[in-house]
Amino acid sequence: MAAKNTPHYFNRELSWLEFNQRVLEEAKDPKNPMLERLKFLAITASNLDEFFMVRVGGLYMARKAGRRKKDPAGFTPLAQLNDIYARSHNMIKELHDCFNDVVSPALNQGKIRHAQIDALTAEQESVLFDLFREELYPVITPIALHSGKKIPNLQNLGLNVLVRLHKKTAKDQESCYAVMSMERAGSRIIQLPADSGYEYVLREEVVRKYAADWFPGFDVKECALFRITRNADFAVQEDEAPDLMRGMEDVLEERKTGDCIRLEVEAGISKGLLKFLCSSLPVNEQAVYPIKGVLNMKDFMSLAFIEGYDELKTEAWPPQASPDVVPNELMFDQIARKDLLFYHPYETFGPVIRFIEEAAADADTMAIKMVLYRTSSDSAIISALKRAAENGINVTVLMELKARFDEARNIGWARDLEQCGVQVIYGVKGYKTHAKICMVVRRERTGITRYCHFGTGNYNESTAKLYGDISYMTCNPDLGNDASGFFNALCGYAQPRDFNLISMAPINMRDKLMELIDFEIERAKKGKKALVNVKVNSLVDVELSEKLYEAAEAGVKIHLNIRGICCLKPRSNIEVTSIIDRYLEHARIIHFHHGGKSRVFIASADWMPRNLDKRLELMIPVEDAECRDRLIAMLNIHLEDNRSSWLLKPNGTYERVVKHGANEIRSQEVLYQQACDAYAAAEKNRRTRFEPHRAAD
């Protein structure tokens, strides 16, 4: 047990920063190729952007409102802000040191060169001048600034150039200022003609080079690049909004003018120019981040994926077809024969898309119902739903408008779907709907059959290639009945009821988890084997954490594979690991030993108060023996990882898992190889089965 008066929990925000540090360590890892390291630098920077907009933004508002309530780790909002700013300053310095000292020089040697703007060839100079004249000068409009007045509205996370000027004819040489926003001025990374390799400069370098052309009659004394992060932690006031869509549109407008909670500036900015900038925004001193090098590293993600340069990239792992899916057979027939389980992106997301596309074109399909939280910009699933409605199928979609930073896209999709005849529900008042479920109702010779897809990730073809997630497809009647009840509760006035198999947050998911842990506790107290093996993205919930502490004390062995935030402190019988690798670990899988009769679940929810109390989530039991055993095997492979796994220490830091004397086990690589081998074996069996018999001599 922890010492008296010692908090049992880590602070949520500092735990998240530890997660982002693990991402940054992938960029620093010499085992990774250079473009892979660049990718992880971009991810680290992108993660920080969202963290500041949401988590720091929320703390900023709490501090502004004078709140002093401590979190479970004993931190007030002010104490959290102070620690966050200090910790993130160090992290950002590490990020840019890695790029400046290691990645950028190595890429220059690998023929991906950042050209010096003042040492270009005549051909390159000509190309840049044409770009300036035809694309930058007509688009970028300088805005005059005045001392003591607030800078006009600047785009959140946008790059800007602040210019200090002197009028050429003035005697007193008093400074005047202007700001130039570059967010709508084309690509930031500008490729140059080169004899070999890939050479580029950055858009802001071109703007700086030709800055004087925007200000005839003035001398340009100084230019400095800067970027602001605004508070984006605004939520729709559902009791006050006339309708949810209008309320979300108001939130999007509100974000455009949120307070500046972080200011990134070039490290070479003069004290005078920085003082002018800070007073004009305004922003406090600890929120100012002088950057030695390139601002907004997430823009370099595109460079990490340029064509060619395979020697600087990781080996491609194309998603494999599932050995359980026959290419030319209807998905309905295959699901009717057996439950199907896929682990993306090792296995392709294609069967899920096929399932919906085939339903949209099938004369026997009566209805399609699904929840969409996030989807891709060119979604094949959205297109299939439109076709289904146009074909006369009853299509109902709950489009969650409150999906943070996807609100505008979802509003657009909702309107498009409605125009095609889809019945669109805009979410449930007071909750976010985060469940991952699609149900197809089909008329068959034997009667009405409900085919269901349950997942741990979004219906997003793009992220399905990057996120580790589970798909489970079944026509189990009890699960189908539960799915109908779930949609009736979401879309109508039906009250959520007790389901046969499914657990739903906020109704009974927490209670079900507590009950299952209690069963393991009772087994352990009797001296019998007891095990809880959990893979989720975050563990913040105090009630569940206390139950895990109780279980550990009773002798239950607890393995927690938590990718991101973990506020629970490890202790005897509790091991916490985190895997950071080329794919984002996103699957939620829970295994209870349950007296040797394993209970295994997949879920849309992490173990956080927001998921268990404020979102509509689903936890699905996987009772098919083959699928259940496969999920347990996946959990065990992740547990064996000694290449990409990190162990949480009692002081809140993480260290790489190293098992001396053991072979290196990289769980993602093992899972990918298994997917390749399984598909190859299935294809060999198919060829053997259908190969014509040779005639006897």
Q: Do residues 238 and 431 lie in contact, with contact meaning Cβ atoms separated by under 8 Å?
A: no
Beta strand pairing call for 394-399 and 365-372? parallel
Instruction: Report which of 478, 479, 425, 491 is spatially closest to residue 452, judged by C-alpha positions.
Output: 479
The Cα 97–Cα 191 span in angstroms is 24
Taking residue 471's Cβ as centre, other Cβ atoms within 10 Å add up to: 24
3-class DSSP state for residue 412?
Answer: helix
Question: CB-based contacts of 355: which residues, under 8 Å, 6+ apart?
Answer: 331, 335, 438, 440, 451, 453, 473
Question: Shortest CA distance to 209 belongs to which of 227, 223, 193?
Answer: 223
* Distance separating alpha carbons of residues 147 and 284, to the nearest angstrom: 17
CB 349 within 8 A of CB 375: no
165-to-211, 215, 220, 370 alpha-carbon distances in Å = 11, 8, 5, 57
Q: Per DSSP, which regions of 292-390 are E strands?
A: 340-344, 365-372
Type and span of the H or E element at 279: helix 271-280
Token pair 């000694």: residue: 642
CA distance 491 to 489: 6
Reading phi first (left if > 0) and then psi (alpha if -120 to 50, else beta), residue 309 is in left
**Mapping DSSP to helix (H, G, I), strand (E, B) and coil, where does residue 674 land?**
helix
Question: Among 344, 434, 586, 591, which one carries the catalytic annotation?
Answer: 434
Torsion of CA 301, 302, 306, 310, to 10 degrees: 10
Helices (H), 68-118: 77-98, 104-109
Active site residue 591: no
Burial of residue 142, with CB atoms counted within 10 A of its CB: 0-12 exposed, 13-18 middle, 19 or more buried: middle
Question: Are the C-beta atoms of 225 and 160 separated by less than 8 Å?
Answer: yes
Taken as a whole, the chain contains a residue count of 697
- Positions annotated as catalytic residues are 434
